[in-house]
Amino acid sequence: MAKSIKNICCIGAGYVGGPTMTMIAAKCPHIIVNVVDINEKRIAAWNDPDVENIPIYEPGLSDLVGQTRGENLFFSTDVDAAIKAADMIFISVNTPTKTYGVGKGMAADLKYIELCARQIAAVATTDKIIVEKSTLPVRTAEALRSILDHTGNGVQFDILSNPEFLAEGTAVSDLLHPDRVLIGGEQTENGKKAQKALVDVYSNWVPKERILMTNVWSSELSKLTANAFLAQRVSSINALSELCEVTEADVNEVARAIGTDSRIGSKFLKASVGFGGSCFQKDILNLVYISQTYGLQEVADYWEQVIIMNDHQKRRFAKKIVKTLFNTVSGKKIAIMGWSFKKDTNDTRESAAIYVADYLLNEQAEITVYDPKVTAEQIYSDLNYLGTRSDEENRRLLKVVTDPKIAVEKAHATAILTEWDEFTEFNWKNMYDSMLKPAFLFDGRMLLDHEELKSIGFEVYTIGKG
Ligand code: NAD
Ligand code: UGA
């Protein structure tokens, strides 16, 4: 019989750990869920009496936290205590691209995962089911098993792979109605019991036919593959967007025409200034690295092209701005609308806006940024992280404002970099009036009504249309 889970610990209170555990707590009132993190500031924000101040902005999440926090959902920095009390431990820590040593710039850095495994092994005095929630290279469970078995206190560990497929901005509805939940388990009697225990948790709200079971390696690899396929679609349509711009085809029309083919499908065919987010690039680089380490150079080259195309798309958008503004943006004010990597999130990791801004700053532009959810500190931290120029210089050349009207005042150009809904509701006539003329508008998201903008007087450039 599968173990009945009464107490869950999740290590890592980030974009995945926070929302996924909140959903489990909401749907499984009989289970105590402890979310733990070493980041004290983050935990304090999760515990903020005003649920609007939780550290992650996701539509619907604050309400759900409000309903469950203090009932059966708890946020804490006491990792050891939560490990001890748990029957099941989710590892949901970050797995960024390595920035040093072998595999630098390509492989996933698994040091945080290893630290978790060592801590669990040291602390656990009862049997535990360990769930890989973080996105991991195929065969990571092997390393986890080795650490747990060699350093543990003789208790039994079962390891499952349960990758997360939520997208930011829609995390709550993705968790509520997942296309599928994937659970990879070891092909042993205990492994199957552990799988069943996790199936029982999800069955509280996910229909059984949506819960897929595989072996551990298939599950680990399926997560990288899913992200690679999604990113590949964006790079494919973005490659076509450049061709559309020189042939007078319209990439939206092409996307609609091909998307109605049920074999192709209509989703993920929105041309843009380039995909961002913490995972697409990192996971593809990881896939490329894994392929290389197995000597599969053609496989590696195939997937690497998705990243090359994405970098090209960001760069060519920035170049287009410079070229259109008579080949120089030096000393010119450019308003950037949107800094997050997509709408409805305050996450800026790998956002195209960072790279476009950096390119324009290198050309000595003066930038003003408006984003409804991203803080000024985050924007400076993103730019400083690139190390292109000093913090003082970034702060001197780039200003962050909380009023879009101020962003465009006396600007030579406005660039739309995130598809926030509110941008479509701006009074663009007023915006136009306060800008310098000719007033250029660069739409990196194909978001606005370009015919209307042209009738107001804007010179419009959009991705994907000549
Ligand atoms: P994140 O950086 O937002 O959160 C990770 C958290 O883990 C941080 O708060 C960090 O302090 C904490 N942490 C690290 N080491 C720790 C330790 N030893 N003990 C306790 N806490 C520790 O990352 P994220 O976006 O939530 O991503 C987590 C994983 O999920 C990654 O592998 C990512 O690829 C994957 N993933 C992310 C998304 C997404 O939308 N962000 C979606 C699916 C999968
Ligand atoms: C993505 C996947 O969609 C999730 O399934 C996965 O769990 C997650 O990565 C992860 O592993 O982290 P996310 O990055 O949050 O989710 O958001 P997406 O909606 O996938 O968008 C990623 C980027 O692609 C954004 O910059 C978005 O603007 C861009 N995009 C997306 C396009 O440019 N065009 C599209 O048609 C779709």
pLDDT by position in tens, the chain (length 466): 778 999 999 999 999 999 999 999 999 999 999 999 999 999 999 999 999 999 998 999 999 999 999 999 999 999 999 999 999 999 999 999 999 999 999 999 999 999 999 999 999 999 999 999 999 999 999 999 999 999 989 999 999 999 999 999 999 999 999 999 999 999 999 999 999 999 999 999 999 999 999 999 999 999 999 999 999 999 999 999 999 999 999 999 999 999 999 999 999 999 999 999 999 999 999 999 999 999 999 999 999 999 999 999 999 999 999 999 999 999 999 999 999 999 999 999 999 999 999 999 999 999 999 999 999 999 999 999 999 999 999 999 999 999 999 999 999 999 999 999 999 999 999 999 999 999 999 999 999 999 999 999 999 999 999 8
User: In terms of Cα–Cα distance, which of 149, 187, 14, 206 is closest to 93?
Assistant: 14
User: In terms of Cα–Cα distance, which of 308, 277, 88, 329 is closest to 167?
Assistant: 277
User: Which atom of ligand 2 is least distant from the CA of 269?
Assistant: 36
pTM of the model: 0.96
Q: Which residues line ligand 1 (CB under 6 A)?
A: 11-17, 36-39, 42, 79, 92-95, 112, 115-116, 134-135, 164, 166, 168, 278-279
Half-sphere exposure of 240 (CA within 13 A, CB side): 16
Catalytic residue among 58, 164, 186, 366: 164
CA of 41 to the centre of ligand 2 (A): 27
User: In terms of Cα–Cα distance, which of 120, 123, 121, 144 is closest to 132?
Assistant: 144
- Ligand closest to 39 (CA) is 1
How is the beta sheet containing 181-185 ordered, strand by strand? 73-76, 32-36, 7-11, 88-91, 128-132, 157-161, 181-185, 211-215
